[in-house]
Copies of this chain bind each other. A is one copy, B any other.
């Protein structure tokens, strides 16, 4: 069996951080399982975050009206992307598993990691108009978010001050990871380690190590299959009538955002369904 590869995209400024410890735990556990482990330490690499014309070598398609996604598609086709992007794409290509390790900034990833997403996961390489969601490029790969919060778990409940964490996770897990076809594993959330006593932090890392030992046999999260939708501009990329009918008698919507005006399926972005086909 070929050696498996994991990529950890890591964004914390300090080697003394809890995020660094979580990264190290993953490197150690996955290496121990025989993985080749690649780490993109974004701050240490001084990774460029902003999507600019410098991301392209040679002439632009339309310098007068620069459109990033169009220029990047052409540059990718012609192998004229900047070296830092090509290097990251090579890592993604190799990876069977991608772990994003970061502190939650403003209900999302830090800007430097958003820059990695914006610049590396470009059209052509990571998706196309024909290949997205469960038809996506990366169907054979798994990806997951692993992050620390400043908030407590109770704040991110459906009756908490920040609202349901499942809503906060949707843009990243559906809009980025699943959009590219990744099988999305349950997020690993370290709730508020900064205000947790050392034994609690240790226990969090132990639980993470425990989870890592069985990570690759975990069932991924459920998303709406693209076959549920009429994937045409006439059909508006909306649910097919027969599928809508099928869900009419169900107590919950399909996913956190494809809710059909019904209550959200509880923890749709947090837990894999046990009895799903």
Interface size on A, residues (CB 8 A): 77
This protein's copies in its complex: 2
Selected contact of A13 from candidates B68, B152, B264, CB within 8 Å: B68
**Interface status of A168 (Cβ within 8 A of chain B):** yes
Task: Give the distance in Å from the alpha carbon of A65 to the alpha carbon of B15 in the complex.
Answer: 7
The segment out of A44-52, A76-84, A88-96 that lies at the interface is A44-52
Task: Give the distance in Å from the alpha carbon of A53 to the alpha carbon of B14 in the complex.
Answer: 10
Q: A50-B49, A52-B43, A167-B170 are in contact. Are A261 and B158 (CB under 8 A)?
A: yes
Task: Give the distance in Å from the alpha carbon of A69 to the alpha carbon of B152 in the complex.
Answer: 17
Residue of A66, A111, A162, A260 with most partner-chain B CB within 10 A:
A111
A17 to chain B: closest residue by CB: B65
Task: Give the distance in Å from the alpha carbon of A119 to the alpha carbon of B115 in the complex.
Answer: 15
CB atoms of B262 and A263 under 8 A apart: yes
**Interface status of A58 (Cβ within 8 A of chain B):** no
CB atoms of B106 and A67 under 8 A apart: no
Selected contact of A171 from candidates B69, B171, B244, CB within 8 Å: B171
Interface residues of A (CB under 8 A from B): 13-14, 16-17, 42-43, 46-47, 49-53, 64-69, 105-112, 114-115, 117-119, 121, 133, 150, 152, 154-155, 157-164, 167-168, 170-172, 174-176, 179, 194, 226, 229, 231, 233, 236-239, 244, 253, 255-264, 266
A selection of 23 A-B contacts at a CB cut-off of 8 Å is A14-B66, A14-B67, A17-B66, A43-B52, A49-B112, A49-B115, A50-B111, A50-B115, A51-B110, A106-B176, A107-B176, A111-B114, A111-B115, A111-B117, A158-B260, A160-B238, A161-B226, A163-B256, A163-B258, A167-B257, A167-B259, A168-B171, A264-B264
